[in-house]
């Protein structure tokens, strides 16, 4: 069957948003709202898979919503809401917990990274996280999900869950008169020069909210001075920039900074190297800092203004939740019948 093209994505309110979240996800959400039905969620239920102080969670939830809007997402066009206001996410996640296999969850590299050696002691929610993520996406029968490269494995698992549900319940789906492909096999949208932004301190580690070093990331609320200082101090090798893309291989820090420049300038890495190849860091870093400040500082101002206006932000989230809830309830009604729950 052909599904209505629909885009869904979400970000956890689990700390300070950073340049990786912006370039890998939020910036790419914006143009899609003009070509697709779009649903952008603040996934607060995912955030509590690791401990969050309730007041911090409220603040961070509003901050992610503010970032969406400050980046250019129009909440009248796109649906913007926080996950916990649409209870069907939790309901479908439970059904998917009974579809997915435990072994699938243990194989997730994000779980292995986050649980580390402590895997017996982390929350059950952290293990089941990808099942809730599948519910987020499939509740809206989303056909495309723009994400950073780190989420690719979770997207593959979403596809596996959709396929297994469609298969396990094939007879019941047919008996309800529904299409055999009840859930779509969602496509990840992972593209551009910034699918995985790396730490400014270590080009082999992902830029991340949970990195203990504030110097490792550019936060979306950093002021111009902080942005410039962090770029100036970013770890690099002593060589000048190469003239060609091949020259970036084996130079993760250089590759990362060129990728950041390319993404912010809406250019390819090759075009950036055509301009800066052969030049040293003393030329490139100030140019990158100027570009980053020019793009990020106005957004940070707008985010601060929006976050301070909690009445407006909360009203946007409530309105989004109502619109999302109407779609979610349609899907859940079908799922309840397919599974055999009496209503
Ligand atoms: N470094 C990154 N480069 C490109 N994209 C990134 N994303 C995250 N980090 C990078 C993308 O941002 C979206 C939201 O991510 P999330 O908040 O749901 O979870 P995450 O991927 O676990 O983000 P963090 O910042 O790394 O958080 P912690 O430290 O809590 O794990 C996703 O589309 C993600 O791909």
Write out pLDDT tens, residues 213-260. Answer: 999 999 999 999 999 999 999 999 999 999 999 999 999 999 999 999
Whether ligand 1 lies within 6 angstroms of the CB of 151 is answered as yes
**In which band, very low, low, confident or very high, does the pLDDT at 50 lie, cut at 50, 70 and 90?**
very high
Nearest partner of 69 among 329, 313, 332, 338, judged by Cα:
313
Sheet holding 187-189, edge to edge: 79-82, 37-42, 6-11, 144-146, 187-189
Other Cβ atoms closer than 10 A to 152: 15
234 CB-near residues (< 8 Å, 6+ apart): 200, 201, 253, 257, 285
pLDDT of 293 strictly over 80: yes
Q: Which residues, 6 or more positions from 120, have their beta carbon under 8 angstroms from its beta carbon?
A: none
Domains of the chain by residue range? 6-195+310-339, 214-305
Give the contacts of 36 (CB within 8 A, at least 6 positions apart).
Answer: 5, 6, 7, 144
Let me know if the fold of 6-195+310-339 is the same as that of 214-305: no
Rounded distance between C-alpha atoms, residue 319 and residue 77, angstroms = 12
In the structure, what pLDDT confidence band is assigned to residue 119 with cuts at 50, 70 and 90?
confident
pLDDT for residue 1: 59
**How far, in Å, CA of 179 to CA of 63, rounded?**
39
Q: Is the separation of the CB atoms in 249 and 314 below 8 Å? A: no
Residue-level pLDDT at 118: 83
- Per residue in 87-98, pLDDT (tens digit) is 999 999 999 999
What is the length of the chain? Answer: 343
129-170 pLDDT, tens digit each: 999 999 999 999 999 999 999 999 999 999 999 999 999 999
CATH class of 6-195+310-339: alpha beta
Residue 117 has pLDDT above 90, yes or no: no
What's the pTM? Answer: 0.95
Question: Looking at ligand 1, which residue's alpha carbon is closest to its atom 7?
Answer: 21
The fold of 214-305 is Tyrosyl-Transfer RNA Synthetase (1.10.240)
- Who contacts 51 (Cβ-Cβ below 8 Å, separation ≥6)? none
Place of tokens 């101002």: 301
Task: Kindly give the interhelix angle for 269-276 and 252-265, rounded to the nearest 10 degrees.
Answer: 100
Q: Which of 8, 11, 20, 205 for a ligand 1 pocket mutation test, highest count of atoms within 8 Å of Cβ?
A: 20
336 CA to centre of ligand 1 in angstroms: 32
pLDDT, residue 193, reads: 87
Q: Between 252-265 and 281-308, two packed helices, what is the crossing angle to 10 degrees? A: 60
Return the C-alpha torsion angle 315, 318, 322, 323, nearest 10: 60
Q: How many CB atoms lie within 10 A of CB 117?
A: 6
Establish whether residue 20 lines the binding site of ligand 1, counting it when its CB lies within 6 angstroms of any ligand atom: yes
Q: What is the pLDDT of residues 204-213, one digit of tens each?
A: 999 999 899 9
Give the residue numbers marked as catalytic. Answer: 114, 206, 209
Share of the chain above pLDDT 70, in %: 100
Measured from the CB, is residue 220 less than 6 Å from ligand 1? Answer: no
Chain centroid offset of residue 305 CA? 23
> What is the b/e burial string over 263-281, where b = at least 16 CB atoms within 10 angstroms of the residue's CB?
bbbeebbeebbeebeeeeb
**Is 88 close to ligand 1, i.e. is its CB under 6 Å away?**
no
């Amino acid at each position: 069957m052909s599904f209505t093209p629909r885009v869904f994505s979400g970000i956890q309110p689990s700390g300070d948003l950073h340049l990786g979240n912006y370039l890998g996800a939020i910036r790419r959400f914006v143009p899609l709202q003009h070509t697709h039905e779009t649903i952008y969620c603040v996934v607060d239920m995912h955030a509590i898979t690791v401990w969050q102080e309730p007041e911090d969670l409220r603040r961070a939830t509003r901050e992610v919503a503010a970032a969406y809007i400050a980046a250019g997402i129009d909440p009248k066009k796109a649906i913007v809401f926080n996950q916990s206001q649409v209870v069907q996410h939790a309901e479908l996640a439970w059904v998917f917990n009974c579809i997915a296999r435990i072994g699938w969850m243990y194989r997730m590299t994000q779980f292995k990274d986050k649980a580390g050696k402590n895997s017996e002691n982390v929350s059950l929610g952290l293990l089941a996280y990808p099942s809730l993520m599948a519910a987020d996406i499939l509740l809206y029968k989303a056909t495309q999900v723009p994400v950073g490269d780190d989420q690719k494995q979770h997207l593959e698992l979403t596809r596996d869950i959709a396929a297994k549900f469609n298969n396990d319940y094939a007879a019941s789906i047919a008996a309800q008169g529904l299409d055999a492909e009840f859930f779509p096999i969602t496509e990840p949208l992972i593209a551009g020069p910034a699918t995985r932004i790396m730490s400014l301190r270590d080009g082999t580690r992902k830029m991340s909210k949970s990195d203990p070093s504030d110097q490792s990331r550019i936060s979306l609320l950093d002021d111009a001075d902080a942005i410039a200082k962090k770029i100036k101090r970013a770890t690099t090798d002593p060589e000048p920039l190469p003239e060609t893309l091949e020259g970036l291989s084996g130079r993760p820090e250089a590759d990362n900074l060129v990728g950041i420049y390319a993404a912010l300038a809406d250019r390819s890495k090759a075009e950036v190297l055509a301009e800066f190849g052969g030049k040293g860091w003393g030329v490139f870093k100030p140019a990158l800092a100027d570009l980053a400040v020019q793009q990020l500082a106005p957004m940070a101002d707008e985010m601060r203004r929006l976050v301070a206006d909690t009445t407006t932000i909360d009203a946007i989230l409530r309105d989004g939740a109502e619109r999302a809830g109407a779609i979610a309830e349609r899907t859940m009604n079908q799922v309840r019948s397919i599974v055999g729950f009496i209503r």
